[in-house]
Chain A
Amino acid sequence: MCGNEVIGEAAIQAGCRLYAGYPITPQNELTQYMARRMVEVGRTFIQAESELAAINLVFGASAAGARAMTSSSSPGISLKQEGISYLAACQLPAVIVNMMRGGPGLGNIAPAQADYFQATRGGGHGDYKTIVLAPATVEEARNLTRLAFDLADEYKNPVMILGDGILGQMMEPIEVIGSRSSINGRIMNNEHRISKPWALTGCRGRKPNVIRSLLLGEGELEEHNKVLQLKYNKVKSKEMRVESVYTEDSDLVVVAYGTTSRIVRAAILKARRDRLRVGMLRPITLWPFPDKEIQKLTRKAKAFLVVEMSAGQMLEDVRLAVLGERPIHFYGRTGGGVPTEEAVLTAIRNVLKAKSKEKTIYEKSL
């Protein structure tokens, strides 16, 4: 199965009751998979007239207490941002998949990681955060999709799965797991186990529930924002996930996520064969970002190298974590360009030779 299909099946196993989507490459396999499978299992599939409609159908299903998901790729995710802001404001769970493609604008359909800012900074209007999970393999896409539904319900917050065209289209062997399974020691839920007393179900035997984000009373909205910020702090302290590869003895730590981390991993294995002391830190959650882990590494590592399929977006978070204590280098490709293992290896070698405090190595020719 390809990454897109695996995410679809994982969502079904998680008890996703409504999926709404709109065609866009490179995530079409997911919408098509859901069109067949959701109907087969008696759930709701809607091909929406727009991304705006899709995210708001998800909003409605979520307000009704159901697990719901939508997916798209970069330009379509821009359209969904209005809805994501409302979901966050109304404290509604939802899962949004972004299989990123080259941008800005219509861009192209090649893989990219240029929506990092949009995903990790909220993306829409207002002070809010979306939990962002970045799988690197098809198997991890399955696991993180299951986790996404649980985190969304637990924190009543939208969760984004941030992949790219390669992850979405790539096929890898995968074991389909049941609706209630344990992944990395965590028992995954399906929706029947979650109580949602706030959901709109008709007010039989209780006071009416209201889902709202308009708070006009003096100070009301500020209070609401404080509640949200407290929640985000809790997410930060509890839900950060990261993978470390050879970081204990590394002079150079490469920071990369998603598809790029696979290329970096291969480059590092080669570098290690040449006795270069290089490792990798792979954020699995992009928000919350593993800033403390990076800060800890500044004690041992002499330098950092950030590799992304962007002009340097996660780079800013690494800078904020390192706080100027070590030089940070950057290697990026944009517009659908994918770094090669050789180019990353060259960047690693150059950085280990470099003497300047901070040097950006950026390949302009694509």
Chain B
Amino acid sequence: MKKVFERTASLKDMPTHYCAGCGHGIVHRLVCEVIDELGIREDVIAVCPVGCSVIAYEYWDFDCSESAHGRTPCVASGIKRMHPDKIVFSYQGDGDLAAIGTAEIIHTANRAENITVVFINNAVYGMTNGQMAPTTLIGQKTSTTPFGRDIARDGYPLKISELLAQLSGSRYIERVSVNTSANVIKAKAAIKKAFKNQIEKKGFSLVEVLSPCPTYWGVSPKDACKWITDEMSRYYPLGVIKDS
């Protein structure tokens, strides 16, 4: 019998703490598959953020560091500058990357740091009870926007990837999703490209992943995937934003 699917080596054989229908588990696996396919597990150093994926190092079988909230790309840059031949990536949520760490990600990209960033956009703060994120959609209800995100009160959802694409220092930025099988395949290809860019010393690469959070969107996992298609990806269109 032919084996068509197995757990990839870099992903530890253990259950995760993520909620049912959460996108983190899929993206963790994609990152690990890419690392194993590129044969770089022993050269990889990951930096995990503050947020739902704070203990990603429990699931990944390679060197990892924690980081203070939002300072993730600084820690990654410090590691990369000391080990320019290692493969360093940060894994960040929308609160980490697009709120508290906005300055850090902009200047890291602007310095053209040769690192890879995997950016999970699920439009809420999942770790702390589903508060409004910088990426929360207009009208979206969260625990701190109980009447829906209101432009007058809360401002606009932040398209941080488009903003980063404006910087001369960024090399490659693509937005993907993991809400359908086809999109998962595309997401993996983008993540792989972002890692290959680093190996080829091409500079700052970032993949934004629209990722379902059924728990704090208050919907079923299936409806969460549908919401990404119907609502989220209309505001945050999928595809390559920059490839220079």
A: residues with CB less than 8 A from B are: 17-18, 20, 44, 46, 48-50, 52-53, 56-66, 68, 82-83, 86, 90, 200-205, 208-214, 216
Contacts of A44 in B (CB 8 A): 81-82
Measured CA separation A20–B74 after assembly (Å) = 11
Do B82 and A83 touch across chains, with their CB atoms under 8 A apart?
no
Which of the residues B44, B68, B78 comes within 8 Å of A57, measured between beta carbons?
B78
Chain B residue nearest in CB terms to A202: B43
Which of the residues A56, A201, A203, A208 comes within 8 Å of B78, measured between beta carbons?
A56
Contacts of A56 in B (CB 8 A): 67-68, 71, 74-75, 78, 104
Do B65 and A200 touch across chains, with their CB atoms under 8 A apart?
yes
Measured CA separation A83–B66 after assembly (Å) = 12
Q: Does B230 interact with chain A (Cβ within 8 Å)?
A: no
Contacts of A17 in B (CB 8 A): 82
**In the complex, how many residue pairs between chain A and chain B have their CB atoms under 8 Å apart?**
133
Within 8 A of A (CB), among B70-105: 71, 74-83, 86, 103-104
Contacts of B60 in A (CB 8 A): 208
Do B42 and A60 touch across chains, with their CB atoms under 8 A apart?
no
Nearest CB in chain B: distance from A76 CB, A: 15
Chosen A-B contacts, 18 in total, with CB atoms closer than 8 Å, are A20-B78, A49-B104, A49-B106, A52-B71, A52-B74, A53-B74, A59-B74, A59-B78, A60-B74, A63-B78, A64-B82, A200-B65, A200-B83, A203-B41, A208-B63, A210-B65, A213-B66, A216-B55
Do B81 and A63 touch across chains, with their CB atoms under 8 A apart?
no
Which of the residues B54, B63, B71 comes within 8 Å of A200, measured between beta carbons?
B63
Nearest CB in chain B: distance from A169 CB, A: 29
Do A202 and B78 touch across chains, with their CB atoms under 8 A apart?
no
Contacts of A201 in B (CB 8 A): 45, 63, 83, 86
Contacts of B44 in A (CB 8 A): 202
Question: How many residues belonging to B are interface residues under a CB distance threshold of 8 Å?
Answer: 35
Nearest CB in chain A: distance from B187 CB, A: 24
Q: Does B158 interact with chain A (Cβ within 8 Å)?
A: no
Contacts of A60 in B (CB 8 A): 47, 65, 74-82
Q: Does B107 interact with chain A (Cβ within 8 Å)?
A: yes
Contacts of B77 in A (CB 8 A): 46, 57, 60
Do B63 and A202 touch across chains, with their CB atoms under 8 A apart?
yes
Which of the residues A49, A57, A204, A211 comes within 8 Å of B65, measured between beta carbons?
A211
Given contact pairs A56-B74, A201-B63, A212-B57, A46 touches B45 in the complex (Cβ within 8 A): no
Chain B 213-237: CB-based contact to A (< 8 A → 1; otherwise 0): 0000000000000000000000000
Q: Does B61 interact with chain A (Cβ within 8 Å)?
A: yes
| Most chain B Cβ neighbours within 10 Å, of A49, A204, A216 | A49
Nearest CB in chain B: distance from A203 CB, A: 5
Chain A residue nearest in CB terms to B60: A208
Measured CA separation A68–B64 after assembly (Å) = 19
Measured CA separation A17–B83 after assembly (Å) = 11
Contacts of B41 in A (CB 8 A): 203
Do B81 and A61 touch across chains, with their CB atoms under 8 A apart?
yes
Measured CA separation A17–B54 after assembly (Å) = 28
Measured CA separation A208–B86 after assembly (Å) = 14
Nearest CB in chain A: distance from B31 CB, A: 14
Do A53 and B82 touch across chains, with their CB atoms under 8 A apart?
no
| Most chain B Cβ neighbours within 10 Å, of A46, A83, A210 | A210
Given contact pairs A18-B78, A60-B77, A65-B82, A53 touches B65 in the complex (Cβ within 8 A): no
Chain B 117-150: CB-based contact to A (< 8 A → 1; otherwise 0): 0000000000000000000000000000000000
Measured CA separation A44–B47 after assembly (Å) = 20
Measured CA separation A49–B83 after assembly (Å) = 22
Q: List 8 additional contacts besides A202-B43, A211-B65; criterion CB under 8 Å.
A: A49-B103, A53-B74, A53-B103, A60-B81, A82-B71, A200-B45, A204-B42, A204-B43
Measured CA separation A17–B84 after assembly (Å) = 13
Chain B 28-48: CB-based contact to A (< 8 A → 1; otherwise 0): 000000000000011111010
Contacts of B81 in A (CB 8 A): 18, 44, 46, 57, 60-61
Which of the residues B57, B78, B79 comes within 8 Å of A210, measured between beta carbons?
B57
Measured CA separation A345–B83 after assembly (Å) = 55
Measured CA separation A361–B182 after assembly (Å) = 77
Do B68 and A203 touch across chains, with their CB atoms under 8 A apart?
no
Contacts of B80 in A (CB 8 A): 60
Chain B residue nearest in CB terms to A207: B61
Measured CA separation A277–B54 after assembly (Å) = 60
Contacts of A205 in B (CB 8 A): 42
Do B45 and A64 touch across chains, with their CB atoms under 8 A apart?
yes
Do B63 and A203 touch across chains, with their CB atoms under 8 A apart?
yes
Contacts of A64 in B (CB 8 A): 45, 78-79, 82-83
